[in-house]
């Protein structure tokens, strides 16, 4: 059984059980490789849709206004701030940290090895941003790595270990030089 086949959220009073009512819309999207169809408020953010309706809690509430990056998910492979994206406006395939696979495995392993995650609240968003980076640029230099991480706030690490992990992945992908050696 798919993890998404749980019962839909309770419908409020006055709402028809068989279709959208009031400001409700049907969200019909691909999340982590599975088709998801849900009734929800037109104003529901993608972050709340993922966290509350689908119980995918790896994406985090950090600021809810697009300042911190903790809610980052991939839509068709491109990082999106799910806290300022409406669920209803999403058309592409969504990938969250729970949907990470072989492409992200080296990033996750490097983060583990380097202890690039302290409290871990920002980490899922950062992993997804880096996933996008290596897809576009398998062997990024330091400038590209920093640019990819520029919209993700980490308050714990000083980014040092995050950069070290990111450089390790770049090196494993065949990067011959970074402009800031270890």
State yes or no: residue 127 binds other proteins (CB under 8 A). Answer: yes
Interactions with other proteins, residue window 130-149 (CB under 8 A): 146, 149
**Beta strands 34-41 and 24-31: pairing type?**
antiparallel
- The burial of 111, by beta-carbon neighbours within 10 Å (0-12 exposed, 13-18 middle, 19 or more buried), is given as buried
Classify 38 as helix, strand or coil.
Answer: strand
How many DSSP H helices and E strands does the chain contain? 5, 5
The C-alpha atoms of residue 133 and residue 137 are separated, in whole angstroms, by 6
State yes or no: residue 46 binds other proteins (CB under 8 A). Answer: no
State yes or no: residue 90 binds other proteins (CB under 8 A). Answer: no
State yes or no: residue 100 binds other proteins (CB under 8 A). Answer: yes
State yes or no: residue 37 binds other proteins (CB under 8 A). Answer: no
State yes or no: residue 172 binds other proteins (CB under 8 A). Answer: no
Which residue of 35, 37, 55, 177 would you call a contact of other proteins, by CB under 8 A? 55
State yes or no: residue 157 binds other proteins (CB under 8 A). Answer: yes
Classify 137 as helix, strand or coil.
Answer: coil
Which residue of 98, 137, 171, 172 would you call a contact of other proteins, by CB under 8 A? 98
Residue 7: partners with Cβ closer than 8 Å, 6 or more residues away: none
User: Of the two residues 58 and 79, which places its CB atom closer to other proteins in the complex?
Assistant: 58
- Residues facing residue 35 across a β-bridge: 30
Q: What does the binding site for other proteins look like in residue numbers (CB under 8 A)? A: 12-13, 41, 51-52, 55, 57-65, 67-68, 70, 96-98, 100, 108, 111-124, 127, 146, 149-163, 180
């Amino acid at each position: 059984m798919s993890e998404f086949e749980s019962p839909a959220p309770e419908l409020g009073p006055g709402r028809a059980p068989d279709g959208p009512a009031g400001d409700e819309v049907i969200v019909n999207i691909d999340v982590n490789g599975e088709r998801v169809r849900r009734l929800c408020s037109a104003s529901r953010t993608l972050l709340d849709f993922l966290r509350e309706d689908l119980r995918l809690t790896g994406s985090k509430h950090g600021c809810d206004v697009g300042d911190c990056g903790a809610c980052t998910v991939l839509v068709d492979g491109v990082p999106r701030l799910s806290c300022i994206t409406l669920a209803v406006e999403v058309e592409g395939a969504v990938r969250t940290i729970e949907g990470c696979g072989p492409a992200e495995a080296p990033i996750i392993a490097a983060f583990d090895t380097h202890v690039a995650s302290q409290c871990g609240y920002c980490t899922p968003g950062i992993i997804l941003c880096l996933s996008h980076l290596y897809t576009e640029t398998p062997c990024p230099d330091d400038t590209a790595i920093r640019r990819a991480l520029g919209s993700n706030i980490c308050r714990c690490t000083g980014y040092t270990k995050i950069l070290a992990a990111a450089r390790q992945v770049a090196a494993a992908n065949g990067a011959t030089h970074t402009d800031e050696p270890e």
